Structure 1
Amino acid sequence: MYVFDVLRADAARLDDLDVVRGALTGLVADAGLHAVGAEAVHRFAPQGLSLAILLAESHVAVHTWPEHGAAYVTLTSCRRPDDGFVERTRAALATALAGTVVVREVPPA
Protein backbone atom coordinates (compact mmCIF):
# COMPACT_ATOMS: atom_id res chain seq x y z
CA MET A 1 0.00 0.00 0.00
CA TYR A 2 1.18 3.50 -0.80
CA VAL A 3 0.02 6.61 1.04
CA PHE A 4 0.59 10.07 -0.43
CA ASP A 5 -0.11 12.99 1.91
CA VAL A 6 -0.59 16.20 -0.08
CA LEU A 7 0.05 19.33 1.98
CA ARG A 8 -0.19 23.08 1.30
CA ALA A 9 -2.14 22.35 -1.88
CA ASP A 10 -4.34 24.70 -3.88
CA ALA A 11 -7.85 24.73 -2.38
CA ALA A 12 -9.59 25.22 -5.74
CA ARG A 13 -7.79 22.23 -7.26
CA LEU A 14 -8.60 20.06 -4.24
CA ASP A 15 -12.29 20.87 -4.69
CA ASP A 16 -12.31 20.29 -8.48
CA LEU A 17 -13.49 16.74 -9.20
CA ASP A 18 -12.06 16.77 -12.74
CA VAL A 19 -8.60 17.77 -11.47
CA VAL A 20 -8.64 15.20 -8.68
CA ARG A 21 -9.98 12.44 -10.95
CA GLY A 22 -7.31 13.28 -13.54
CA ALA A 23 -4.59 12.98 -10.91
CA LEU A 24 -5.85 9.54 -9.83
CA THR A 25 -6.35 8.19 -13.34
CA GLY A 26 -2.84 9.36 -14.21
CA LEU A 27 -1.49 7.50 -11.18
CA VAL A 28 -3.37 4.34 -12.23
CA ALA A 29 -2.09 4.52 -15.81
CA ASP A 30 1.50 5.21 -14.74
CA ALA A 31 1.46 2.20 -12.41
CA GLY A 32 0.19 -0.04 -15.22
CA LEU A 33 -2.96 -0.82 -13.24
CA HIS A 34 -6.45 -1.30 -14.67
CA ALA A 35 -9.58 0.60 -13.64
CA VAL A 36 -12.66 -1.60 -14.00
CA GLY A 37 -15.05 1.29 -14.59
CA ALA A 38 -16.48 1.50 -11.08
CA GLU A 39 -15.96 4.69 -9.13
CA ALA A 40 -17.60 6.29 -6.14
CA VAL A 41 -17.68 10.02 -5.43
CA HIS A 42 -18.90 11.93 -2.42
CA ARG A 43 -18.88 15.73 -2.28
CA PHE A 44 -18.89 17.46 1.08
CA ALA A 45 -20.58 20.78 1.86
CA PRO A 46 -19.32 23.39 1.50
CA GLN A 47 -16.16 21.84 0.00
CA GLY A 48 -14.04 18.73 -0.25
CA LEU A 49 -14.54 15.36 -1.85
CA SER A 50 -13.79 11.67 -1.66
CA LEU A 51 -13.20 9.59 -4.77
CA ALA A 52 -12.50 5.87 -4.99
CA ILE A 53 -11.69 3.97 -8.18
CA LEU A 54 -11.99 0.20 -8.24
CA LEU A 55 -9.05 -1.53 -9.94
CA ALA A 56 -8.62 -5.06 -11.22
CA GLU A 57 -5.68 -5.12 -8.81
CA SER A 58 -7.56 -3.49 -5.85
CA HIS A 59 -8.35 0.26 -5.47
CA VAL A 60 -7.12 3.84 -5.28
CA ALA A 61 -8.82 6.52 -3.19
CA VAL A 62 -8.46 10.19 -2.33
CA HIS A 63 -10.00 12.38 0.34
CA THR A 64 -9.55 16.17 0.12
CA TRP A 65 -9.77 18.97 2.66
CA PRO A 66 -9.53 22.20 0.64
CA GLU A 67 -9.96 24.33 3.75
CA HIS A 68 -6.71 22.82 5.06
CA GLY A 69 -4.93 22.57 1.70
CA ALA A 70 -4.66 18.82 2.19
CA ALA A 71 -5.43 15.53 0.50
CA TYR A 72 -4.83 11.91 1.42
CA VAL A 73 -4.28 9.46 -1.45
CA THR A 74 -4.01 5.70 -0.95
CA LEU A 75 -3.19 3.01 -3.48
CA THR A 76 -3.73 -0.60 -2.51
CA SER A 77 -2.64 -3.15 -5.09
CA CYS A 78 -1.77 -6.82 -5.28
CA ARG A 79 0.86 -5.88 -7.88
CA ARG A 80 3.87 -3.75 -7.00
CA PRO A 81 4.57 -0.87 -9.42
CA ASP A 82 8.08 -0.35 -10.82
CA ASP A 83 10.82 1.30 -8.76
CA GLY A 84 10.31 4.80 -10.22
CA PHE A 85 6.58 4.87 -9.51
CA VAL A 86 6.74 6.58 -6.11
CA GLU A 87 8.85 9.53 -7.27
CA ARG A 88 6.85 9.98 -10.49
CA THR A 89 3.61 9.92 -8.52
CA ARG A 90 4.94 12.36 -5.92
CA ALA A 91 5.85 14.79 -8.70
CA ALA A 92 2.58 14.30 -10.60
CA LEU A 93 0.40 14.85 -7.52
CA ALA A 94 2.44 17.90 -6.51
CA THR A 95 1.92 19.39 -9.97
CA ALA A 96 -1.77 18.47 -10.32
CA LEU A 97 -2.74 19.70 -6.85
CA ALA A 98 -0.08 22.42 -6.48
CA GLY A 99 1.15 21.10 -3.16
CA THR A 100 3.93 19.30 -1.33
CA VAL A 101 3.66 15.51 -1.28
CA VAL A 102 4.92 13.26 1.51
CA VAL A 103 5.03 9.54 0.73
CA ARG A 104 4.57 6.68 3.15
CA GLU A 105 4.88 3.15 1.82
CA VAL A 106 3.30 0.50 3.98
CA PRO A 107 5.19 -2.76 3.46
CA PRO A 108 3.15 -5.89 2.80
CA ALA A 109 2.54 -8.14 5.78
Structure 2
Amino acid sequence: MEALGRHILVELYNCDNEKINDVAYIESSMLAATRASGATIISHNFHKFSPHGVSGVVVIAESHVSIHSWPEYNYAAIDIFTCGDTIDPMIIRDTLKKDFQAETISSREIKRGMIKPKAGKKLLHKPQQQILEK
Protein backbone atom coordinates (compact mmCIF):
# COMPACT_ATOMS: atom_id res chain seq x y z
CA MET A 1 0.00 0.00 0.00
CA GLU A 2 1.14 3.51 -0.80
CA ALA A 3 -0.26 6.83 0.39
CA LEU A 4 -1.46 9.55 -1.95
CA GLY A 5 -0.73 12.14 0.70
CA ARG A 6 0.57 13.03 4.15
CA HIS A 7 -1.62 14.99 6.55
CA ILE A 8 0.25 16.53 9.48
CA LEU A 9 -2.00 17.74 12.31
CA VAL A 10 -0.10 20.28 14.39
CA GLU A 11 -1.05 21.82 17.71
CA LEU A 12 0.97 24.75 19.00
CA TYR A 13 0.59 25.63 22.68
CA ASN A 14 1.75 28.66 24.68
CA CYS A 15 2.26 30.76 21.56
CA ASP A 16 2.86 34.50 21.58
CA ASN A 17 -0.79 35.62 21.62
CA GLU A 18 -0.06 38.88 19.77
CA LYS A 19 1.61 37.04 16.90
CA ILE A 20 -1.20 34.51 16.50
CA ASN A 21 -3.76 37.33 16.53
CA ASP A 22 -2.00 39.35 13.81
CA VAL A 23 -3.42 38.37 10.42
CA ALA A 24 -0.59 40.04 8.46
CA TYR A 25 2.07 38.31 10.57
CA ILE A 26 0.37 34.91 10.23
CA GLU A 27 -0.05 35.32 6.48
CA SER A 28 3.59 36.32 6.03
CA SER A 29 4.83 33.47 8.24
CA MET A 30 2.66 30.85 6.55
CA LEU A 31 3.72 31.94 3.06
CA ALA A 32 7.42 32.00 4.00
CA ALA A 33 7.25 28.59 5.70
CA THR A 34 5.40 27.11 2.73
CA ARG A 35 7.95 28.50 0.27
CA ALA A 36 10.82 27.20 2.44
CA SER A 37 9.39 23.68 2.17
CA GLY A 38 9.64 23.79 -1.61
CA ALA A 39 5.85 23.82 -2.15
CA THR A 40 4.27 25.62 -5.10
CA ILE A 41 1.83 28.28 -3.86
CA ILE A 42 -1.34 28.64 -5.94
CA SER A 43 -3.34 31.07 -3.76
CA HIS A 44 -4.01 32.10 -0.17
CA ASN A 45 -6.73 33.67 1.96
CA PHE A 46 -6.71 34.80 5.59
CA HIS A 47 -9.42 36.25 7.84
CA LYS A 48 -9.21 38.09 11.20
CA PHE A 49 -12.12 37.45 13.56
CA SER A 50 -13.46 39.94 16.09
CA PRO A 51 -12.49 40.24 18.86
CA HIS A 52 -9.66 37.76 18.21
CA GLY A 53 -8.50 34.79 16.18
CA VAL A 54 -7.32 34.18 12.64
CA SER A 55 -8.15 31.50 10.08
CA GLY A 56 -6.30 31.07 6.85
CA VAL A 57 -5.27 28.73 4.09
CA VAL A 58 -2.43 28.52 1.61
CA VAL A 59 -3.45 26.45 -1.39
CA ILE A 60 -0.45 24.68 -2.86
CA ALA A 61 -0.07 22.50 -5.95
CA GLU A 62 0.68 19.68 -3.52
CA SER A 63 -2.58 20.34 -1.49
CA HIS A 64 -2.87 22.92 1.35
CA VAL A 65 -1.64 24.44 4.62
CA SER A 66 -4.24 25.90 7.00
CA ILE A 67 -4.41 27.54 10.42
CA HIS A 68 -6.93 28.60 13.04
CA SER A 69 -5.70 30.50 16.08
CA TRP A 70 -7.15 31.06 19.52
CA PRO A 71 -4.99 33.88 20.93
CA GLU A 72 -7.06 33.98 24.11
CA TYR A 73 -5.70 30.47 24.82
CA ASN A 74 -2.25 31.02 23.23
CA TYR A 75 -3.09 28.12 20.90
CA ALA A 76 -2.97 27.53 17.14
CA ALA A 77 -4.10 24.49 15.11
CA ILE A 78 -2.34 23.89 11.80
CA ASP A 79 -3.03 21.33 9.07
CA ILE A 80 -0.37 20.52 6.51
CA PHE A 81 -1.62 18.25 3.72
CA THR A 82 0.86 17.31 1.00
CA CYS A 83 0.72 14.95 -1.93
CA GLY A 84 3.75 13.28 -3.44
CA ASP A 85 7.21 13.44 -2.01
CA THR A 86 8.63 16.64 -3.50
CA ILE A 87 8.29 18.80 -0.36
CA ASP A 88 9.06 18.43 3.33
CA PRO A 89 6.00 19.34 5.44
CA MET A 90 8.08 19.25 8.63
CA ILE A 91 9.86 22.41 7.48
CA ILE A 92 6.49 24.18 7.59
CA ARG A 93 5.70 22.76 11.03
CA ASP A 94 9.06 23.68 12.55
CA THR A 95 9.15 27.15 11.00
CA LEU A 96 5.69 28.05 12.30
CA LYS A 97 6.52 26.74 15.79
CA LYS A 98 9.48 29.13 15.83
CA ASP A 99 7.62 32.07 14.26
CA PHE A 100 4.70 31.84 16.71
CA GLN A 101 7.10 31.23 19.63
CA ALA A 102 5.22 28.10 20.71
CA GLU A 103 6.60 26.55 23.88
CA THR A 104 4.98 23.18 23.22
CA ILE A 105 4.16 21.35 19.99
CA SER A 106 2.18 18.22 19.31
CA SER A 107 1.94 16.74 15.83
CA ARG A 108 0.51 13.63 14.31
CA GLU A 109 0.92 12.32 10.79
CA ILE A 110 -1.87 10.52 8.96
CA LYS A 111 -1.31 8.80 5.65
CA ARG A 112 -4.17 9.72 3.30
CA GLY A 113 -5.46 7.75 0.32
CA MET A 114 -3.90 4.37 0.97
CA ILE A 115 -3.90 2.79 -2.47
CA LYS A 116 -2.47 -0.45 -3.77
CA PRO A 117 -0.80 0.40 -7.09
CA LYS A 118 -1.12 -1.99 -9.98
CA ALA A 119 1.67 -4.54 -10.15
CA GLY A 120 4.96 -2.93 -11.14
CA LYS A 121 3.50 0.61 -11.06
CA LYS A 122 4.07 3.52 -8.69
CA LEU A 123 1.38 5.99 -7.67
CA LEU A 124 1.44 9.00 -9.94
CA HIS A 125 0.76 12.52 -8.74
CA LYS A 126 -0.30 15.39 -10.98
CA PRO A 127 2.72 17.19 -12.39
CA GLN A 128 2.90 20.73 -11.06
CA GLN A 129 2.84 22.23 -14.56
CA GLN A 130 -0.56 20.63 -15.30
CA ILE A 131 -2.01 22.09 -12.11
CA LEU A 132 -0.61 25.55 -12.79
CA GLU A 133 -2.02 25.63 -16.35
CA LYS A 134 -5.64 25.13 -15.24
TM-score under structure 1 normalisation? 0.84
Query: Which one of the candidate residues 96, 106, 109 is aligned to 2:110?
Result: 106
Larger C-alpha radius of gyration, 1 or 2? 2
Shift of 1:56: 1.2
Q: Is the 8 A contact 2:46 2:55 kept in 1?
A: yes
Distance 2:49 2:26 in 1: 14
TM-score under structure 2 normalisation? 0.70
Shift of 1:67: 0.2
Any idea what the Cα deviations from partners look like across 1:46-104, whole Å, max 9, x if unmatched? Answer: 0111011111111111100000000011111212334xx52x44432222101122111
Give the 3-state SS of the residue equivalent to 1:107 in structure 2. strand
Over the residues paired in the alignment, what is the CA RMSD in angstroms?
1.7
Query: Which one of the candidate residues 64, 67, 70 is aligned to 2:72?
Result: 67
Shift of 1:23: 2.3
Q: Identify the residue that residue 97 of structure 2 maps to in structure 1.
A: 94
Q: Which consecutive unaligned segments of at least 5 residues does structure 2 have? A: 1-6, 115-134
Shift of 1:18: 2.3
Alpha carbons of structure 1 residues 90 and 41: separation in structure 2 relative to 1, 3 Å: closer
What does 1:4-83 align with in structure 2 at a 5 Å threshold? Answer: 4-36=10-42, 38-80=43-85, 81-82=87-88
Shift of 1:11: 0.7
Give the 3-state SS of the residue equivalent to 2:18 in structure 1. helix
Which segments of structure 1 move beyond 3 Å, counting only runs of 4 or more?
Answer: 88-91
Q: Is the 8 A contact 1:93 1:101 kept in 2?
A: no
Q: Is the 8 A contact 1:90 1:102 kept in 2?
A: no
Percent identity of equivalent pairs: 24
Give the 3-state SS of the residue equivalent to 1:11 in structure 2. coil
Q: Is the 8 A contact 1:90 1:101 kept in 2?
A: no
